[in-house]
């Protein structure tokens, strides 16, 4: 019987345990969207995770939606991330970069020449983003021209090339939480009439083209994807999510992706949100179609995580907030040590406080 604390193999990548550090936006990059010395310390402190998935990193300036998030599209950003991965590897860790484009969850403040954000359709998201002046409503987006979509796919592929240069062991496509990939998938936000809208097949076309492009850079077993089929954050919804995501995960499994990273229930909310979206069924379809492994995420504690791995409902478990407050989370879970409590007021404030100053356990 598998256990949470034993090694696991994703394709040819062996990880020392089945505990994953989830991608966590921390807003600590510099003005050039480059990881800093603080990021080197932060991630190295957590290198005992079986796999670290980096905070979401935009593939271009157009893909940014929040202040001080890192990118993966300039030489300085690549060099900054290389310093992080070198330090994590020296500490015995494994690291994956999450590739991000926020689409309409953005503001003109971040866009080149203060242009409108881009989206599948010109539908404003009922959501807010954080800019230097504080929280603001998302700007009205413009619909991507059909001819622009091929260039977007190339941007993802170039970001993957940059991730390889930066030394990441894997890459993860951010397809969750109402950002660009998710916007194309869902019929609420995608009302296109060309080959990228309408039917489920058409709405999947751009996300699958991106996946295929990423698999030309990294082997498919070194590519993962994060999805949130039941979630409705950032104004993301669909009229038939179970049918949509059942077909999507079948296609992803056929591509033999390294993992499917599933947010269970509502992101940062109830795990039983929208129970009609049968996540167990989606996991089975992905595995039966050829997908290699499943990472489960959202509100897991020690007992739940151990049980999920033991009964086979997940291969690995991703922890978010507990990893913020506990750099030595693996040891604390394995030995039943008490956990530090996270200070949510420091999640996005910048600086070392609440970032690199949480203590390791001392008996």
Out of 179, 300, 355, 358, pick the active-site residue.
179
Contact 52, 96 (CB under 8 A): yes
Active site residue 259: no
Please give, one letter per residue, the 3-state secondary structure of 318-336.
EECHHHHHCCCHHHHHHHC
Tokens of 159: 């970001």
Distance CA(7)–CA(4), nearest Å, equals: 8
Residue 80 pairs in a beta bridge with none
Distance CA(150)–CA(158), nearest Å, equals: 12
Contact 124, 130 (CB under 8 A): no
Element (H, E) at 162: helix 146-165
Distance CA(87)–CA(85), nearest Å, equals: 5
**DSSP secondary structure string for all residues of 208-259:** HHHHHHHTTTS-GGGEEEEE-TT--GGG---S-HHHHHHHHHHHHHHTT-SE
Reference 20, options 274, 226, 233, 230; nearest CA is 226
CA angle 39, 42, 45 (to 5 degrees): 145
Question: In 10 A of CB 6, how many CB atoms?
Answer: 12
Q: Could you list the active site residues?
A: 179
């Amino acid at each position: 019987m598998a256990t949470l604390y034993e090694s696991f193999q994703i394709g040819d990548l062996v990880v020392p345990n089945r505990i994953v550090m989830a991608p966590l936006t921390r807003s600590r990059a510099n003005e050039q969207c480059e990881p800093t010395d603080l990021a080197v310390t932060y991630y190295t402190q957590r290198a005992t995770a079986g796999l670290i998935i980096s905070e979401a990193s935009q593939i271009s300036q157009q893909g940014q939606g929040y202040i001080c998030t890192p990118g993966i599209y300039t030489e300085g950003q690549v060099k900054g991330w290389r310093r992080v991965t070198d330090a994590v590897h020296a500490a015995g860790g494994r690291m994956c970069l999450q590739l991000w484009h926020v689409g309409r969850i953005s503001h003109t403040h971040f866009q080149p020449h203060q242009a409108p954000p881009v989206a599948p359709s010109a539908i404003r998201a009922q959501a807010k983003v954080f800019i230097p002046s504080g929280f603001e409503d998302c700007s009205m987006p413009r619909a991507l021209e059909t001819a622009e979509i091929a260039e977007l796919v190339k941007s993802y592929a170039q970001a993957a090339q940059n991730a390889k240069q930066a030394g990441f062991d894997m890459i993860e496509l951010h397809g969750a939480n109402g950002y660009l990939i998710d916007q194309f998938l869902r019929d609420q936000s995608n009302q296109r009439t060309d080959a990228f809208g309408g039917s489920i097949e058409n709405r999947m076309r751009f996300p699958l083209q991106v996946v295929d492009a990423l698999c030309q850079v990294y082997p498919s077993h070194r590519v993962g994807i994060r999805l949130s089929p039941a979630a409705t954050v950032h104004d993301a919804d669909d009229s038939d999510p179970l049918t949509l995501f059942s077909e999507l995960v079948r296609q992803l499994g056929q591509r033999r992706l390294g993992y499917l990273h599933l947010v269970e229930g509502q992101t940062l909310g109830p795990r039983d949100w929208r129970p009609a979206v049968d996540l167990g069924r989606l996991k089975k379809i992905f595995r039966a179609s050829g997908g290699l492994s499943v990472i489960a995420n959202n509100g897991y504690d020690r007992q739940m995580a151990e049980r999920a791995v033991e009964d086979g409902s997940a291969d690995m478990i991703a922890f978010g907030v507990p990893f913020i407050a506990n750099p030595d989370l693996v040891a604390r879970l394995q030995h039943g040590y008490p956990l530090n409590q996270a200070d949510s007021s420091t999640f996005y404030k910048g600086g070392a406080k609440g970032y690199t100053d949480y203590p390791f356990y001392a008996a």
